């Protein structure tokens, strides 16, 4: 199971990883462009079932990148002084089986007001960001300071 790749629960780093996956609003998703250049982008996300769930626009270049090279990186911002580093590696896929973002209670709870700010309503956000991506996390590294 993908959740098994997280560092040990009850240990400071493992607990910090779980807390940030649960509480952070932004994670950076890095795909690889056609020319081989890393393409990092901040995205909204949910951690569920050992996977990161992201909704994206259907015209986003990251979709073509993922179709060509599904291996991706994810990371959180540091604490501003180079500490609290968490980097995740995994494989991304488009998941057409999911309902729109506004119909996923946890996503709407976490980002409901942001959806209104970005698109005018949660329903419009769901139409604008209509493609669901799942990233199965395969490795986690980092450190606390």
- Evaluate whether residue 27 is within a structural domain: yes
- Evaluate whether residue 15 is within a structural domain: yes
Q: Is the pTM of this model over 0.85?
A: yes
User: What pLDDT was estimated at residue 65?
Assistant: 98
User: What pLDDT was estimated at residue 45?
Assistant: 99
Among 144, 116, 127, smallest CA distance to 11 is for: 144
Q: C-alpha angle 93/74/53, rounded to 5°?
A: 45
- Evaluate whether residue 121 is within a structural domain: no
- Listed in sequence order, the residues at least 6 apart from 105 whose beta carbon sits closer than 8 Å to its beta carbon are none
Segments in the chain below pLDDT 70: 1-3
The DSSP call for residue 9 is T
Alpha helices in 8-138 (DSSP H): 12-23, 61-68, 105-119, 122-128
User: What pLDDT was estimated at residue 49?
Assistant: 85
pLDDT tens-digit profile of 103-135?
999 999 999 999 999 999 999 999 999 999 999
Name the one residue in this structure whose structure tokens are 């490795």. 139
- Evaluate whether residue 122 is within a structural domain: no
The enclosing domain of 42 has a CATH number of 2.30.110.10
- Listed in sequence order, the residues at least 6 apart from 59 whose beta carbon sits closer than 8 Å to its beta carbon are none
41: containing domain: 2-97+132-143
Helix/strand/coil (H, E, C) string of 44-81?
CCEEECCEEEEEECCCCHHHHHHHHCCEEEEECCCCCC
- Evaluate whether residue 117 is within a structural domain: no
Cα–chain-centroid distance for residue 102? 17
Three-state DSSP at 85 gives strand
- Evaluate whether residue 38 is within a structural domain: yes
**Quick one: how many helices (H) and strands (E) in the chain?**
4, 7
The domain total for the chain is 1
User: What pLDDT was estimated at residue 145?
Assistant: 82
């Amino acid at each position: 199971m993908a959740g098994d790749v997280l560092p040990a629960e009850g240990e400071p780093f493992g607990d910090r990883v779980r807390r940030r996956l649960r509480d952070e609003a932004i994670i950076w998703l890095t795909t690889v462009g056609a020319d081989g250049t890393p393409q990092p982008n901040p995205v909204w996300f949910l951690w569920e079932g050992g996977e990161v769930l992201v909704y994206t626009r259907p015209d986003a270049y990251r979709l073509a990148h993922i179709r060509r090279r599904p291996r991706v990186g994810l990371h959180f911002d540091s604490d501003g002084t180079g500490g609290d580093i968490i980097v995740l590696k995994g494989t991304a896929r488009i998941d057409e089986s999911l309902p729109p973002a506004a119909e996923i209670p946890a996503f709407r709870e976490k980002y409901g007001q942001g959806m209104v700010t970005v698109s005018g309503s949660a329903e419009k956000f769901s139409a604008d960001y209509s493609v669901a991506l799942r990233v199965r996390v395969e490795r986690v590294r980092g450190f606390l300071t």
